[in-house]
Amino acid sequence: MTGLTDQAIAILRRNDRGGYTVPTHGLYPYQWNWDSAFVALGFAEFDRDRAWAEIETLVSAQWSDGMIPHIIFHQEDPGYFPGPSVWATGKTPATSGITQPPVLASVVRTLWEAEGADPGCSRMRALYSACVRSHRWFHEFRDPKDNGLVMVTHNWETGRDNSSEWDDALSRVDTTGVGTYQRRDTGHVDAAMRPTQQEYDRYVAILQFGRNTGWNHREIADKGPFRVVDVGMSMELLRANRDLLVMARALSDTDVVTELEQRITLSEAGMDWLWNEDVGAYCSRDATTGESSSLVTNASFLAFYAGVGSKTQQARLLNALERITTTAHYLLPSLEAGSRDYDHKRYWRGPIWLVVSYMVAQGLAEAGHLEWAERIRTDSSKLIEKSGFYESFSPETGDGSGGPDFSWTAAMWLAWCGKGGQL
Ligand code: GLC
């Protein structure tokens, strides 16, 4: 155990580029939004100052409208596509033009509470304000139905890049104008673990649409080629609003308290729009066609983390979890085996990602399902013990997939699964 803890610390130190951490050397040479949030939880276990700095660097690239971008290109690296010149957002520092899951407020709360929850903590106060602005951005630009859920305009925003949940919406994306480009990801890892070329063309076409609007997020939200209400981000934002509310109350920020209470009520009621009664789970849903993906993914189980679902709905989710144990040797796969295009090695179509497992386990524990939370935690630590700190892991064999020496996997070991029974 100590050996793995030392290794995890060494990975974070090695991937530290001075104030921010790359997800892994080579494949992802920049700062990613939700990676940094989880990485901060890892740093907090041995260097609190560095944990705050990770998030402060991320937030320093927040757009004036409140959006926190999904990638910050602190320095050019030819080994990644699409780089800053492809996004062409014109920001300093250079950034991508889309966002990523809003888990930041939840992490800020954790860091702040670990330091004694002093309302006078200036680092918390600054990040709290950044989170309030970011959550308002979601509300203003990404809630077209005004039901407190989150619509994404690029599948990369979800953080679950090639999940089968996006296939139908992606199949309608016109790729005829994409032109030629050189992918870099498949030069770093086995192509069988990455999205296909056809998928990549669609990702680039959606990017180009945004760029052609001058990154006008109103226009992108109204007319973009990809408009899906993501179950993952909807759950994460609801949870993040609850965590932000705790800080708003501690700061006696009464207007924000009222605003957040209203949003939370809206989202709690709105979430039923994602419930799929036939499947017995929350599923992502297309904002244009209204179609449910009907797919059970790891994000479906974030309902516990968000604190939603009636007793019956939660019982059905637990049934789904039980069913998944009959095909998955390790929990929690990103897609249930037998689902359309399930592939235990391919990215978000089956492999286990510890950051999502962490949130799901936290939610299950809070809801009193301690055995399930512990099962997910011990499976997660077994994966690291067996295969090392990979980007993701096969739920069938436990082998690592994607990049090695991954920052957020190391962080999850330190903050969660390597720690024994605590969350
Ligand atoms: C991949 C993942 C995404 C992550 C990024 C950097 O794109 O799908 O969730 O943020 O890599 O690790």
Average pLDDT over residues 376-393: 98
pLDDT above 80 for 1? no
Determine the atom of ligand 1 nearest the C-alpha atom of 160.
8
Ligand 1 atom showing the smallest separation from residue 158 Cα: 9
At 335, the pLDDT band (50, 70, 90 cuts) reads very high
What's the mean per-residue pLDDT of the chain? 97
371 CA from centroid of ligand 1 (Å): 29
What per-residue confidence (pLDDT) applies to 225?
98
- Closest by CA to 304, choosing from 355, 262, 357, 256, is 357
Does the C-beta of 32 come closer than 6 Å to ligand 1? Answer: yes
Per the DSSP assignment, residues forming a β-bridge with 151 are: 229
Burial class (CB within 10 angstroms; exposed 0-12, middle 13-18, buried 19+) of 193: buried
Q: Which residues lie across from 286 on neighbouring strands?
A: 228
Tell me, what's the pLDDT at 20? 98
Number of the ligand 1 atom closest to the C-alpha atom of 33: 10
Name 315's Cβ contacts closer than 8 Å, sequence gap at least 6.
Answer: none
Flag whether pLDDT at 205 surpasses 70: yes
Q: Determine the atom of ligand 1 nearest the C-alpha atom of 24.
A: 12
Say yes or no to pLDDT of 423 above 80.
Answer: no
Q: Is the CB of 101 under 6 A from ligand 1?
A: no
The pLDDT of residue 421: 57
Q: What is the pLDDT of residues 242-297, one digit of tens each?
A: 999 999 999 999 999 999 999 999 999 999 999 999 999 999 999 999 999 999 99
Kindly state if the Cβ of 28 falls inside 6 Å of ligand 1.
yes
Output the pLDDT for position 420.
Answer: 72
Ligand 1 center from residue 254 Cα (angstroms): 36
Question: In this predicted structure, what is the pLDDT of residue 251?
Answer: 98
User: How far does CA 116 lie from the centroid of its chain?
Assistant: 27
- How many residues in the chain? 423
CA of 250 to the centre of ligand 1 (A): 33
Cα separation, 216 vs 362, in Å, equals 36
Model confidence over 45-95: pLDDT tens digits? 999 999 999 999 999 999 999 999 999 999 999 999 999 999 999 999 999
Q: What pLDDT, on a 0 to 100 scale, did the predictor assign at position 274?
A: 98
- Give, as one character, the DSSP assignment of residue 64: T
CA of 166 to the centre of ligand 1 (A): 16
- 161 is a catalytic site residue: yes
Q: Which of these, 162, 291, 273, 303, lies nearest to 228 by C-alpha position?
A: 291
Please tell me the distance between residue 285's alpha carbon and the centre of ligand 1 in angstroms.
Answer: 21
Q: What gap in Å lies between CA 53 and CA 57, rounded to an integer?
A: 6
Q: How far apart are CA 421 and CA 375, in angstroms?
A: 10
Task: Work out which ligand 1 atom sits closest to the CA atom of 70.
Answer: 10
Residue owning the nearest CA to atom 9 of ligand 1? 159
Ligand 1 pocket test target in 12, 20, 28 with most atoms within 8 Å of CB:
28
Among residues 16, 253, 286, 391, the one annotated as catalytic is 391
Give the pLDDT of residue 402.
95
Average pLDDT of span 6-22: 98
Q: What are phi and psi of 154, to 5 degrees?
A: -150, 140
- Global pTM reads 0.98
- Using a 6 Å cutoff on CB, does residue 34 contact ligand 1? yes
Q: Is 23 in the pocket of ligand 1 (CB under 6 A)?
A: yes
Which is the catalytic residue, given 47, 77, 115, 161? 161
